[in-house]
Structure 1
Amino acid sequence: MRSCYLVCLTLLLCSLCSLATQSDVTQQPKLADYREGETWVWKYQGVTTAGEIRADGQDSKKIISQNGELFMQTAAKVIPLAAIVKPVQSKTPRYSWPLQVGKKWTFEEHWTSDDGTTGATIQDAEVLSFKEETVPAGTFMAYSIRYKGKITNSRGFSADTEDIHLYAPKLKTFIKLTQVQSDYLYVEELIKYSEE
């Protein structure tokens, strides 16, 4: 009887370990993972070490439907969701799918700001953990991803950067972003998530 109990207990533990391992690997979200009415709202603030506030506001995204097709609506534009969930082809992506603890890659982005300034962000990325994280919108299982490197622009600016993204698979997005750049600290946190 006792050996039967031990065998059952061992099988149960192996099963739980297997489930835990599977849940710690996350694929890129697909079109079917989104629902019309889903809404995300973030609060952001950027402050220098001298206390000067350079950014302060809110950002939001919402899934809407037009003629039977899903779109992501932001403050600036409406983007077909099919374009957002296209498989990532970049060799230096923001998120290297599938996500799992210990994974490393290089993130590289070249950009142009509204005033015409061009720049580049090049960082080494590493997934540090997958655990419960709490933000104003609630508590979610999330990956902690550290990005460490440099940001430069065409006006001669250059700074070391370290970003921490908390990415929650259930919400298909980051729930917190912390960026340290020379004398500047930028924090963006999810304050509301809803499904209509």
Structure 2
Amino acid sequence: MKNLFPVVLALLVLSACNDSTTSSSTNQPTLSDYQLGEKWVWKYKGVTTEGEVRSDGTDTREIVRFDGSLAMTIGKDTIPVAEIVKPEESETPKYDWPLEVGKKWKYENSWTSQDGTTGNQSQDAEVLSYQEETVEAGTYMAYTIKYTGKITNSRGYSANETEVWLYAPAVKNFIKLTQDQGDFHYVEELIEYSKPN
């Protein structure tokens, strides 16, 4: 029994290090991290402060073979994984890799919707923690990233915005998103994640 004590103590110290909220760092996933047949399913719901449901449904993404290489289905689109993992060449990215607790950056995004409306997002981002988080799909180690800022569009819309993303390296994606934008509250949560054995 005496010989077991140092081993048990070492395991406790190692697990404490692994659970640390400050010592971890995660790089952007690469093409080799994805597998054919890998699948994610989220449920989402968006409600106004008046209780009007503006969005309610599920979103499924899956890794498929497309033109001889791996691709991800996103809605009606099929996007090569090589495009998804391509490093974002921006001074103001959505994710500033590598992710680590305490990291801060500016995120800016300009977009055009299908009806021709243009818009801008400008947010301050900060990685608040790295710890176990539980969603319907299971429990994962995840980074909590908080974005605060403003969204505007060409139709005169302007609102303060707060988003909290839980990003789990094990699934290479977010497992939960909570967004407050003006009078609109939106939640998206991973309900299923699977990959071939």
Query: 3-state DSSP class of the match of 2:170?
Result: coil
- Relative to structure 1, the CA distance from residue 192 to residue 9 in structure 2 (aligned partners, 3 Å threshold; closer, same or farther) is closer
Q: 1:123 — aligned with what? A: 123
Q: 1:42 — aligned with what? A: 42
Give the whole-Å Cα distance in 1 for the aligned partners of 2:127 and 2:76.
30
- Relative to structure 1, the CA distance from residue 83 to residue 51 in structure 2 (aligned partners, 3 Å threshold; closer, same or farther) is same
- Relative to structure 1, the CA distance from residue 7 to residue 44 in structure 2 (aligned partners, 3 Å threshold; closer, same or farther) is closer
**1:173 pairs with 2:173:** yes
Query: Any gaps of 5 or more consecutive residues in structure 2?
Result: none
Q: 1:141 — aligned with what? A: 141
- Which has the higher mean CA deviation after the structures are superposed, 15-24 or 101-110? 15-24
Give me the TM-score of the superposition, normalised by structure 1: 0.90
- Relative to structure 1, the CA distance from residue 91 to residue 131 in structure 2 (aligned partners, 3 Å threshold; closer, same or farther) is same
RMSD: 2.3
**1:195 pairs with 2:195:** yes
Question: What is the 5 A alignment of 1:145-156?
Answer: 145-156=145-156
Q: 2:95 — aligned with what? A: 95
- Relative to structure 1, the CA distance from residue 161 to residue 6 in structure 2 (aligned partners, 3 Å threshold; closer, same or farther) is same
Q: Which amino acid aligns with 1:39?
A: K
Q: Which amino acid aligns with 2:40?
A: W
Q: May I ask how many residue pairs the two structures share in their alignment?
A: 194
Give the whole-Å Cα distance in 2 for the aligned partners of 1:120 and 1:182.
15
Q: Which amino acid aligns with 2:143?
A: Y
What's the offset of the Cα at 1:113? 1.0
Q: Tell me if structure 1 keeps the 8 A contact 2:142–2:167.
A: yes
What's the offset of the Cα at 1:68? 3.6
Query: Any gaps of 5 or more consecutive residues in structure 1?
Result: none
